[in-house]
Amino acid sequence: MSVLETAGTHGRGPSPEAARARVRRRYRAEKRFRAYGIISIVLALSFLAILFVTVIGKGYSAFTQTEILLPIQLDPAVLGIEGAPDEAKISSANYGAAVKAAIRAEFPEVSGRRDLRQLYELVSSSAGYELRALALKDPALIGTTRDVWVPASDDIDVLVKGHVSMTSAESDRRVNDRQIAWIKQLEDKGTIAQHFNTRFFVNGDSRQPEQAGILGAVVGSFLTLIVTLALAFPVGVMAAVYLEEFAPRNRFTDLIEVNINNLAAVPSIVFGLLGLAVFLGFFGLPRSAPLVGGMVLALIVLPTIIIAGRAALKTVPPSIREAALGMGASRMQMIAHHVLPLAMPGILTGTIIGMAHALGESAPLLMVGMVAFVVDVPHSIFDPATVLPVQVYMWADSPERAFIERTSAAIIVLLLFLFVMNSLAIFLRHKFERRW
């Protein structure tokens, strides 16, 4: 009789069958746990794929814009320019009249006030501003006829892209049957086409979807993040160095550590209220400026940098410190020349992740006024500006159908920035990480 059988016989242990059954149960539990983990990963990847497919499916069409080719006569009489054209007269000329004359020439059979108004709606009302920019750039165009691709209106752009069916009932769309017939005539002539939408990347915000762009929001985000980094990085690193290398271990430092961890979990809108009350209300700093937005985001990022900095400093072996001190270095020299450079990859990784978090914030910036409608691209941290997440919020609230695709396109750009920043953090960690 074996030992297990003897033990089972005398009641001092499980029988072999019971032991094998328990082992089988453990194996089954392990398999179930692994299956749950795989299912969780598949679900997470599925939801992520659904998010990307939805956003890209709705937003990719915003990178093209429907345009109409018109032979536009820049006749001084039509433009309202009297005498020799100078810069002031060219700037104040009536370019909208030239666009209307060109579209009338394409459809000479159209007459009547109502029909002409519907005909003019094929072209964006901002086409005159683009003609003005061309004329200011090259004054020699005055008095000539040029073929110019002008943007179609947002309703025509949505229709041509297929977001609204041409075969649906006329009451269900904003473009009537006669306008659709005009569009088909332009398609037969080859004078209506979709081109790459450079306006989306070089323009600021606009009430007209076909003219709205993200440049102002991108520049505003960049200036805001510059202020955030300039404030949060040095303060966060110095705080981490002090708490990890100099601060005594007592109740006071324990309280500071607990509060730092708690600040990392505070809802971001609370920091926005703090910025509204202190930076705007008490100090009177400019509203809607990247300076104030960066200061608010610095408060949000600061706990992340401190926690990441302390974790990176802890990974440096004590032997590095002991060797530096043994060679006669002071405590400050030991930290500045040996410990901090070795911990810097981890600190930079945490900083980039914190900055990526700040890039996606919108609630605290809404509280400090960065939700304002800003057409001009900011040139300094004191100019009114908005940021990409707030731009997405504003466009999502717009009633025009064409803003839906631009909202998704702005989200694509924002996700691309976040992907680049997180990829940079991973690259820095793998390139400079030391394994002890």
Sequence ranges of the domains in the chain = 16-59, 63-197, 215-432
Report pLDDT for 232. Answer: 94
Residue in 227, 242, 401 with CA at minimum distance from that of residue 299? 227
SS3 146: strand
- Residue for token digits 């001009």? 376
Report pLDDT for 13. Answer: 62
SS3 195: strand
Report pLDDT for 1. Answer: 45
CATH class of 215-432: mainly alpha
Report pLDDT for 2. Answer: 46
Report pLDDT for 299. Answer: 93
Report pLDDT for 3. Answer: 45
Mean pLDDT by 10 residues, the chain (436 residues): 47 75 89 94 94 91 94 88 83 91 92 91 91 90 90 93 86 89 93 94 91 93 94 94 88 87 87 91 90 94 93 90 88 90 88 90 88 86 92 89 92 91 81 67
Q: For the residues of 81-101, what is the DSSP string, one character each?
A: --SS--HHHHHTS-HHHHHHH
